[in-house]
Amino acid sequence: MTPVTDLDSPVFDGRAAMRGYPLNAMCFSFNDPANRARFIEDAEAYFREFGLDEEQRRAVRERDVLGMIAAGGNAYYLLKLANLLGMDVQDVGAQQTGLTRADFQAKLRAQGA
Average pLDDT across each block of 10 residues of the chain; the chain has 113 residues. List them in order.
Answer: 57 89 97 96 98 98 93 90 90 89 93 81
* Strand stretches in the chain, DSSP E: none
Q: What is the per-residue pLDDT for 110?
A: 93
Q: What is the per-residue pLDDT for 36?
A: 96
* CA dist., res. 7 & res. 107, Å (int): 22
pTM for this prediction: 0.81
Q: What is the per-residue pLDDT for 76?
A: 86
> DSSP per residue over 25-49, as a string?
HHHHHTTSHHHHHHHHH-HHHHHHH
Interior CA angle at 27 toward 95 and 84, to 5°? 60
Q: What is the per-residue pLDDT for 5?
A: 52
12: left (phi over 0), alpha (psi -120 to 50) or beta: beta
CA-to-CA dists, residue 76 to 11, 66, 72, 80, 102, angstroms: 14, 13, 12, 7, 24
Q: What is the per-residue pLDDT for 89?
A: 87
